[in-house]
């Protein structure tokens, strides 16, 4: 009878038996008695955590005292130790004493409930205990396997990203980028209905989304052209939006009690990034930790990624993505004590560790990460505090910006897939031929395109990652030139190629079958994205390691130690390219009003400068005659425009159909008679995973 009741009958409401029972305590009891295993309390430690929170709320008691210990901290040059707060329960603490403490403070309200708790624990122990033998200790839960999770696609537009799930798992807020304009939407998981709560505006990006812990608001990061990102807030189902904070470096992460939020940002001081805590209304900012070059927190935001710090379930530790960005670059997960700011960094290897992280429980962080730069972004589990990684997903898609429900039972994530094809035209740029069929790509890495004689060179998917590939136009066959390589640059005659090995961090040059390393192992510097001069002797680059910031440098490919500085002021992150005649250089810059621009000057001394507004994306190229700079329009990235150097207005060069494809890169042949364009399609949709609870041990 008792077993049947436990299995099949709905329990009476505890507050019917004891009217003055706190509602939160009633919910804890009902969760213990829940029939659905996906939402039932899974472990004794989970129950204890809930009772601890209840005790804190009812009595105003603090969480268990903290102790200080020394842990190794990753550093650019050496290791040292720093105090990090770690939760440690007093030796006399026990679950029974915790319940007794609650009862002693609320004896009248809780006396009747105690029996319900004991019955629930005992019943669950009997009904759900493993059969077939005894053990001195409770068995650990099975490791998470993607095969054990239920997967549900939530969107099919191909332009949805940056999801944030509501605490109860019933709704998902996300950014819809259809038509090149970003709007903020909320989707009901059960019905699939969508509500637009922030309409799209041309030229305005929404680059980060977070649902507040109480489910009442959506915080989002809004970025206007040439402005720092700002944090805004809007009621969950729409209404009047208000600005909370300027100058954030990504979306925010909330503390467990919802009273505080953490975010990263670039400091006003050059070369510094900060981890900042503020109250949930954007007030009372406090810088918790500051990292200085070559170390830093990630603060980059974009249409498909926005880095957010994550608070541990006990509120003592904040995990954030960061890295070492000097000569020996590596990505990191940085664990920061929320009170003292003490850091413990776990090195991941690739320069970009991932696009987001969140705590699965007090012992594990779930993150989007790379195990090597040539592999796609996957979901991983990192145990805490030791930092051991275990793969959760293993496929060719990219998984970015994960978000968990309050009970850690469901996860939403954006799943990205990319492909591109190469089209070539004659000198008229009116008649186009699809020369390279549609092929998978690893996001922007797969879009760089160059001519090599009459053939085309680009990174293509290969062996679970990608490889620098040569497409032989005459035979329509491919040849792998270098595994895990990209960012290639080719001399005009096709005899020399310089490329970057993403897995080793080395820059190589290849003269036919002869190959030589240009940079030492592990270096991820400016040479990794440099561009060869037409004669193949010089490599132009924008170097971020200058004494006062970005500088334009030129390296001798035959003598890599011979590096010359061209200009050291007004340089902007982007590209530098030498003109077809080898006499001039164009590079990304800032104008006199500190607005993004493109500067053209002579290669020898950078005199006689001409500056033009940066109307396109960062990657631009000289026209074959050297009279203009060609670029992809910034808004839709669907066509190529040319800015004449004589100051005439820009003119549109190509007129591709509006079919949702974007231009990844383009290149002219050595004789200037053929133009090749990589037309890319990036598909991003929101996916829901269920069944994560109780499987992290």
pLDDT, tens only, 179-230: 778 999 999 999 999 999 999 998 788 988 999 999 999 999 998 866 788 9
Cα–Cα distance for residue pair 324/352, rounded to 1 Å:
10
Which pLDDT score, from 0 to 100, does residue 451 have? 97
Q: Which residue has the higher pLDDT, 444 or 140?
A: 444
The alpha carbon torsion through 634, 636, 640, 643 (nearest 10 deg) reads -30
Which pLDDT score, from 0 to 100, does residue 20 have? 52
Q: What is the reported pTM?
A: 0.68
Compute φ and ψ for 360, nearest 5 degrees: -85, -40
Question: Which pair of structure tokens corresponds to residue 398?
Answer: 């990219």
Residue 103 has pLDDT above 50, yes or no: no
Which pLDDT score, from 0 to 100, does residue 144 have? 60
Which pLDDT score, from 0 to 100, does residue 277 have? 97
Residue 136 has pLDDT above 90, yes or no: no
Q: Categorize the per-residue pLDDT at 120 as very low, low, confident or very high, splitting at 50, 70 and 90.
A: very low
| Neighbouring C-beta atoms of residue 259, cutoff 10 Å | 12
Which pLDDT score, from 0 to 100, does residue 12 have? 56
Compute φ and ψ for 612, nearest 5 degrees: -130, 150
Q: Which residue has the higher pLDDT, 620 or 73?
A: 620
Which pLDDT score, from 0 to 100, does residue 299 have? 83
Distance linking the first and last C-alpha atoms of the chain: 34
Q: How far is CA 592 from the centre of its chain?
A: 33
Cα–Cα distance for residue pair 96/426, rounded to 1 Å:
81
Mean pLDDT, the chain, rounded, equals 79
Share of the chain above pLDDT 90, in %: 48
Q: Counting Cβ atoms within 10 Å, is residue 362 exposed (0-12), middle (13-18) or buried (19+)?
A: middle
Domains and CATH numbers, the chain: 2-127 (no CATH), 156-408 (2.120.10.30), 418-683 (2.120.10.30)
Which segment, 148-162, 276-290, 394-408, 605-619, is predicted with the most confidence on average? 276-290
Contact 309, 264 (CB under 8 A): yes
pLDDT, mean of residues 305-328: 85
pLDDT, mean of residues 361-390: 88
Contact 489, 498 (CB under 8 A): yes
Q: Map residue 367 onto helix, strand or coil.
A: strand
Residue 580 has pLDDT above 90, yes or no: yes
Query: Which residues 6+ apart lie within 8 Å of 649 measured at CB?
Result: none
pLDDT, mean of residues 53-75: 38
Which pLDDT score, from 0 to 100, does residue 263 have? 94
DSSP string, 318-349: EEEEEEE-SSB-EEEEEEEETTT--EEEEE-S
pLDDT tens-digit profile of 626-657?
999 999 977 678 899 999 999 999 999 999 98
Q: Map residue 469 onto helix, strand or coil.
A: strand
Q: Which residue has the higher pLDDT, 240 or 271?
A: 240
Which pLDDT score, from 0 to 100, does residue 109 have? 35
pLDDT tens-digit profile of 434-467?
999 998 887 777 789 999 999 999 998 887 678 9
pLDDT, mean of residues 596-614: 91
Q: Which residue has the higher pLDDT, 227 or 112?
A: 227
Contact 55, 63 (CB under 8 A): no
Task: Using alpha carbons, list the distances in angstroms from residue 47 to 42, 56, 330.
Answer: 8, 14, 39
Supply the DSSP symbol for 558: S
Residue 93 has pLDDT above 50, yes or no: no
568-602 burial, b for 16+ CB within 10 Å, e for fewer?
bebbbebbbbbbbeeebbbbbbbbeeeebbbbbbe
pLDDT, mean of residues 33-45: 52
Which pLDDT score, from 0 to 100, does residue 18 have? 56
């Amino acid at each position: 009878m008792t077993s049947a009741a436990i299995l099949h009958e709905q329990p009476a409401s505890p507050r019917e038996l004891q009217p003055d029972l706190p509602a939160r305590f009633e919910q804890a009891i009902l969760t213990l008695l829940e029939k659905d295993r996906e939402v039932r309390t899974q472990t004794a430690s989970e129950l204890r955590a809930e009772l601890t929170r209840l005790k804190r709320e009812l009595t105003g008691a603090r969480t268990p005292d903290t102790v200080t210990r020394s842990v190794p901290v990753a550093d650019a040059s050496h290791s040292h130790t720093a105090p990090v707060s770690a939760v440690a329960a007093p030796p006399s603490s026990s679950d029974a004493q915790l319940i007794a403490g609650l009862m002693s403070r609320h004896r009248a309200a809780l006396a009747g409930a105690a029996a319900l708790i004991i019955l629930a624990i005992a019943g669950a122990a009997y009904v759900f205990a493993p059969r077939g033998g005894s053990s001195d200790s409770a068995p650990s839960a099975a490791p998470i396997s993607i095969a054990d999770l239920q997967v549900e696609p939530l969107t099919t537009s191909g332009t949805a990203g940056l999801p944030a799930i509501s605490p109860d798992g019933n709704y998902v807020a996300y950014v819809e980028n259809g038509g090149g304009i970003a709007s903020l939407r909320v989707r009901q998981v059960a019905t699939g209905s969508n509500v637009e709560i922030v309409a799209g505006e041309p030229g305005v990006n929404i680059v980060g989304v977070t649902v507040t812990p109480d489910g009442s608001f959506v915080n989002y990061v809004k970025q206007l052209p040439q402005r720092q990102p700002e944090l805004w807030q809007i009621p969950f189902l729409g209404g009047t939006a208000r600005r909370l904070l300027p100058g954030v470096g990504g979306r925010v992460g909330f503390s467990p009690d919802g009273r505080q939020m953490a975010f990263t940002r670039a400091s006003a001081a050059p070369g510094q990034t900060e981890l900042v805590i503020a109250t949930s209304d954007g007030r009372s900012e406090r810088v918790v930790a500051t990292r200085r070059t070559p170390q830093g927190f990630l603060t980059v935001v974009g249409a498909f990624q926005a880095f957010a710090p994550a608070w541990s379930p006990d509120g003592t530790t904040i995990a954030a993505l960061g890295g070492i960005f000097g000569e020996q670059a590596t990505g990191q997960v940085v664990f920061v004590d929320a009170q003292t700011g003490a850091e413990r960094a776990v090195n991941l290897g690739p320069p970009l560790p991932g696009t987001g992280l969140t705590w699965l429980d007090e012992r594990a962080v779930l993150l989007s990460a790379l195990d090597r730069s040539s592999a796609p972004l996957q979901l991983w589990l990192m145990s805490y505090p030791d930092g051991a990684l275990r793969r959760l997903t293993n496929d060719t898609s990219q998984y970015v910006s994960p978000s968990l429900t309050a009970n850690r039972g469901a996860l939403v994530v954006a799943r990205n897939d990319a492909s591109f094809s190469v089209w070539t035209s004659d000198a008229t740029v009116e008649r186009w031929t699809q020369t390279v069929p549609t092929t998978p790509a690893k996001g922007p890495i797969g879009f760089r395109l160059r001519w090599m004689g009459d053939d085309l060179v680009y990174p293509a998917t290969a062996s679970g990652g990608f490889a620098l590939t040569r497409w032989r136009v005459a035979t329509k066959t491919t040849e792998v030139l270098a595994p895990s390589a990209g960012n290639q640059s080719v001399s005009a005659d096709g005899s020399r190629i310089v490329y970057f090995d993403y897995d080793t961090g080395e820059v190589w040059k290849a003269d036919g079958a002869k190959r030589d390393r240009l940079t030492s192992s592990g270096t991820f510097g400016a040479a990794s994205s440099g561009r060869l001069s037409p004669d193949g002797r010089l490599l132009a680059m924008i170097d971020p390691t200058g004494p006062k910031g970005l500088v334009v440098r030129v390296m001798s490919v035959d003598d890599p130690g011979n590096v010359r500085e061209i200009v050291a002021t007004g340089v902007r992150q982007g590209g530098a390219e030498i003109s077809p005649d080898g006499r001039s250089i164009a590079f990304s810059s800032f104008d006199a009003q500190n607005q993004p621009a493109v500067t053209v000057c002579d290669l020898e001394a950078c005199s006689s400068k001409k500056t033009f507004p940066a109307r396109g994306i960062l990657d631009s190229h000289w026209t074959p005659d050297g009279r203009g700079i060609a670029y992809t329009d910034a808004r839709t990235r669907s066509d190529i425009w040319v800015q004449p150097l004589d100051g005439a207005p820009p003119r549109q060069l190509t007129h591709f159909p509006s079919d949702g494809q974007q231009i990844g890169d383009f290149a002219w042949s050595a004789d200037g008679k053929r133009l090749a364009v990589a037309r890319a399609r990036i598909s991003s949709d929101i996916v829901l995973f269920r069944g994560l609870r109780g499987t992290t041990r």
